[in-house]
Structure 1
Amino acid sequence: MNDEENSPDQGETTPDDTVPAPAARPRRRGLRTVGLLAVAAVVGLVGGIAVGYGIQAGRAPVPLPALNQPGLAYPAKPLPKDREPEPLSAAEDRGAKTQGDLRKLLLPRPASARADEDQPDGWQSFADYVDGFTRPEAALETQLDLGIRRIATRAWRTGEHKSVEIDLVQYRPTSAQGAREHVMQQQRIAIGESGAGTLGTAVKGSSEGRYFVYPVRREAGYLDAYEARAFIQRGDIAITILMYDTHEIAESEIRSLAERQLGRL
């Protein structure tokens, strides 16, 4: 055998000499299936809404049930005379007293007392009322902001130097907090003043009413000065009681006045 017969043909190729084919690109499993499911879900949701809306639109409207309102509080026709409710008594209706003549709610002047000619008695103007404040103009502005409505006053003197003044300051119904704000402000002034030295004493029958008895004030060339005050709120009315004397004022005296004046409201 010659070498030429045993040697491969130079024009032929063997498997070892062939270039290997590139490997196939791996398939991303599942993505196509997930996409098809998502599209099907969206189509099903939109189709369900459309079908439901079409069915509801094709139905006849159902009327709402009638409102159940038996025995209305305000009947269309007036009640018969024998079925009308009894009006509230003065004890049950606080407004029955305070909407009338406010002067009638003031404590009467004691039989042994005389009118104080230096103080108004009856109705008091706003200007006269704020005249006793340190800053009358600012006090008037504050009172107007609180909704002050009217003032009833009673003042008297007993003995040589004792004087008493009671003010009923009423505020407008739309300013329900006016009376309380005024009372709280006067109490703060009383507590903060020199010589007070106390938070005051609660007035029986009042949630926030208090009375104050001050220590004597002495000044050369003047008589001793004693003072007691009470500030109470009752609804839309602020009660102020002022007592002055050159002799000691008993705590029971200002307390009794405060409780009796509150009781008339």
Structure 2
Amino acid sequence: MGDAPEPFAGEAPENPVGVAPAVAGEGPGASDAPGAAPKRRRGRTVALVAVAAVLGVVVGTCAGYLVQADREPTALPPLSQPVLAQAKGEAPEPLPAARDRRVKTDGDLRKLFLKKPRGAEEPDWPMGSDGWLELTEFAGYYEEPGDMFGGLVMDGFRRAAVTGWSDNDHSVEIRLIQFRQEETLAAAETVDNSQYWADEEDDTDSWLVPGTGEGRVYVHKSPDREPGYEPVYGAEAHIWRGDIAVEIWVYGSKPVPKKMIMDLAERQMERL
């Protein structure tokens, strides 16, 4: 009765006396269990390396400041540049007024027009006041005067001059339109716009005017026909130079020869 029963051979006791039960994941051999990932312990070594790296950066920065502080300051280059010696010799004489284009174009534009041919008559249509066109008058030449008026104001319209004459077969009108050109090349843009609409006319031939860059003349081979009026043939030229746009218009009861409109364009540009 007082003796404890002995276990059967080959059979281990369920809870040997004095041995604590093992906890999962602890104890020797726990990491060798199937499917269990080994755990890495953080020791002091990692922390010490991080602290040493930070201290190294701080010490290096301080050393750099100390080295820079001990150096002599670098002198900056002077703001003033050396004075260049003036070339010897006589100063060139200014251009005479006859060769200074700016003097011509800032003067009376009406003096730059072609002279009327001998035997030509004064035109029988209104041509401004004493050879000048006001802004409203010039805008009135277009199909939408209100829009054109605003556009000319935005383009810096300065002034416009006009002349013309009539002979037995044709009538000629020449306009010089000058712009201030403070922000845009308004003279060139005005000519581009006029050339666009001239190209839109049916049955029209055009040619470049020599020596003017993109200046062109246009001959409309088909006449304009309106009830109650005789057919009217037309030709035109649109050229620019500097701040002045040049418009030449020729109308007549007979077709306008290319030679006529080209000659007018070339001779008028020679005066500019």
**TM > 0.5:** yes
Structure 1 window deviating more from structure 2 (45-54 vs 142-151): it is 45-54
1:169 is paired with a residue whose SS is: strand
Task: Report the Cα distance in structure 2 between the residues aligned to 1:104 and 1:32, rounded to whole angstroms.
Answer: 100
What one-letter code is carried by the residue in structure 1 that aligns with 2:195?
Q
1:216 is paired with a residue whose SS is: strand
- Residues 114 and 70 from structure 1, CA distance in 2 versus in 1: closer, same or farther, beyond 3 angstroms? farther
Residue of structure 2 equivalent to 1:102: 109
- Residues 222 and 65 from structure 1, CA distance in 2 versus in 1: closer, same or farther, beyond 3 angstroms? closer
CA-atom RMSD, angstroms?
3.4
1:213–1:227 contact (8 Å) kept in structure 2: yes
2:155–2:181 contact (8 Å) kept in structure 1: no
2:110 is paired with a residue whose SS is: helix
- Residues 71 and 108 from structure 1, CA distance in 2 versus in 1: closer, same or farther, beyond 3 angstroms? farther
TM-fit CA distance, 1:90:
6.4
Residue of structure 1 equivalent to 2:197: 189
User: Within the alignment, does 1:250 sit opposite 2:257 as a pair?
Assistant: yes
Residue of structure 1 equivalent to 2:163: 154
Task: Report the Cα distance in structure 2 between the residues aligned to 1:91 and 1:40, rounded to whole angstroms.
Answer: 86
TM-fit CA distance, 1:65:
2.3
TM-score (norm 1): 0.76
Match of 2:188 among 141, 166, 180: 180
Structure 1 window deviating more from structure 2 (49-58 vs 231-240): it is 49-58
Residue of structure 2 equivalent to 1:22: 27
Q: What does 1:39-50 align with in structure 2 at a 5 Å threshold?
A: 39-50=51-62
User: Within the alignment, does 1:208 sit opposite 2:214 as a pair?
Assistant: yes
- Residues 31 and 106 from structure 1, CA distance in 2 versus in 1: closer, same or farther, beyond 3 angstroms? farther
2:224 is paired with a residue whose SS is: coil
Residue of structure 1 equivalent to 2:153: 144
1:107 is paired with a residue whose SS is: coil
CA displacement, residues 229-252 of structure 1 (integer Å, 9 cap, x when unaligned): 111121211110011111221111
Task: Report the Cα distance in structure 2 between the residues aligned to 1:84 and 1:155, rounded to whole angstroms.
Answer: 44
TM-fit CA distance, 1:30:
8.7
Task: Report the Cα distance in structure 2 between the residues aligned to 1:238 and 1:53, rounded to whole angstroms.
Answer: 68
Task: Report the Cα distance in structure 1 between the residues aligned to 2:120 and 2:67, rounded to whole angstroms.
Answer: 92
User: Within the alignment, does 1:51 sit opposite 2:57 as a pair?
Assistant: no
1:176–1:236 contact (8 Å) kept in structure 2: no
- Residues 203 and 51 from structure 1, CA distance in 2 versus in 1: closer, same or farther, beyond 3 angstroms? same
CA displacement, residues 23-68 of structure 1 (integer Å, 9 cap, x when unaligned): 3987848975454334323322222222222332454533212257
Percentage identity across paired residues of the two chains: 41
1:200–1:211 contact (8 Å) kept in structure 2: yes
Instruction: Count residues with an aligned counterpart.
Output: 245
2:223 is paired with a residue whose SS is: coil
Task: Report the Cα distance in structure 1 between the residues aligned to 2:190 and 2:158, rounded to whole angstroms.
Answer: 13
- Residues 241 and 47 from structure 1, CA distance in 2 versus in 1: closer, same or farther, beyond 3 angstroms? same
Structure 1 window deviating more from structure 2 (109-118 vs 208-217): it is 109-118
Task: Report the Cα distance in structure 2 between the residues aligned to 1:31 and 1:94, rounded to whole angstroms.
Answer: 91
2:156–2:179 contact (8 Å) kept in structure 1: yes
User: Within the alignment, does 1:116 sit opposite 2:128 as a pair?
Assistant: no
Structure 2, unaligned runs of 5 or more: 1-5, 7-15, 32-37
1:56 is paired with a residue whose SS is: helix
What one-letter code is carried by the residue in structure 2 that aligns with 1:142?
G
Task: Report the Cα distance in structure 2 between the residues aligned to 1:56 and 1:92, rounded to whole angstroms.
Answer: 65
User: Within the alignment, does 1:135 sit opposite 2:140 as a pair?
Assistant: no
CA displacement, residues 120-165 of structure 1 (integer Å, 9 cap, x when unaligned): 4532211221222212222111111111111121111112x52111
Task: Report the Cα distance in structure 2 between the residues aligned to 1:135 and 1:240, rounded to whole angstroms.
Answer: 18
